[in-house]
Structure 1
């Protein structure tokens, strides 16, 4: 926990509008809608005098990069293998806010990700860590594994000193990105980020990114996991937010069979539930298509008749990766006749073109 002031990150007033103007926020229009409040905490709440930043350790039990070799299983980002951080961090912040309020005529407002608050720059200003070249907060004590929350308060608290940038010449986080989502150090183009594509993006994922997604079915930890500062996170591992063992690397075959009710039951209380079943199945089918496992072709085939066009479209792509040209033409005759969705139709045309070129 550290303290900063509302005016401690003045660069946001220029950096945030420039980032939005470049379109790097992708489809996250909520970033635009209240951009003035994000760039200046005093606009969000004129009564704020101090900001208390809280970080909770969620260091993974195993190296997230090791999950990428398990082609028949889904890799879920480390933070999402745990209880929904919105609930956990907000609970801690409310406890602290209650303590502050009890000290006198002090007002507080608690924020965890759902309000127009730029947590990472404020956390860096408070001394919790620094924003690395991948834009994620890096801590000397917790590595890259901190969940953040903020308390805006009317109390005049003594601010902590900001943490110095300790990345030096290292660029491992930039070089490991599968989709080249960093146009420059300290800049992120969300439109190319696997975390954005598999969580925030609502429609089909562009073909140019599908192979790079691999078996990542929710989020991506690559740029976090490769950071050398993570070696210092071991000391704090006992205090971390624990993970659910069944979410470490679930079989893709199981995930592909989830209907809406089963999806909600399996991921209840976790961040995964927020994406909804159809977007999650879209990701699962991309992973199936990348698996190279013919045994998973039947799971993709079963999804060709799914009620969701988003799922059907990705099932077409996955099938085209795991079956031969003759089989794809048979699947087309069985499932594509009468298809009314334009995007699914485009997937079928691309799949048949691919099958024809492969045959040739």
Structure 2
């Protein structure tokens, strides 16, 4: 049995949870090192405090056995999954399960299948059990995140080099995607917001051309292997717009305040408070409209959340973004983003690119 499986089973026992059901996705991948191709056929990793088994569509069973030695209850399209699920519950001794944890990211019909098989069980989300285990990244996971950050730096440099008056947001997004693919990474998102479009934090990149005096937000990320990248930098076309320098200074100070606050033993909300306090003091509190950051790992957004009210105590090995922003409707937006690995002595910033505005 793997060390990760032992940790999950211990967490189930401590929480008094009789059964956890995970679909193909990040939780299953973290626990087994793989997951079968997700489709409409119910595929479930079933874990109890003492045992584990897989409910597996027959067409995926042979390949799955190359990755795991767990007991496998197969079902064929002609039969459906219900009987095989019943056999799995019998084998695991969970026909009378009272507390059930369901993968929050799996298909609703998978969850309903399990709930109908255990009509008396109280359901909760598996993330409450899995997140504390997944948040601390081991050495191999940290190395993969560093590799992805190097690729993101190269893609950002390519975008900045391609900027010029008349070039469209969409054309710059294509430059980012091509640079990511050149380095073996699969693009996940390419946000380019020119001028007033930058005031929309999740702007849908379009055909807006860059114009003299535009501030441009570039927020890009991609995945190589199991992990991904995320970086935001700013540029100005010819010159920055009026008032930009003071806003950039406030956001940069907020990044620094959050980096200074991010230490083992500190609550996630304290890091958010450090960044938000700087921006509020500069008079832009109402224009900082999102949390300061999010965790990263097998998912581009996962716990810990660096936000107000978050009680998670930060620990070494946790990975998260620090990305305060100020958004001035009709004028421009400004966000600066770093991915950090929290080490014993503080945050390790993965990007090597400076955060000053690049004039192009």
TM-score (norm 2): 0.26
More strand per residue:
2
TM-score calculated relative to the size of structure 1: 0.26
Q: Which has the higher helix share?
A: 1
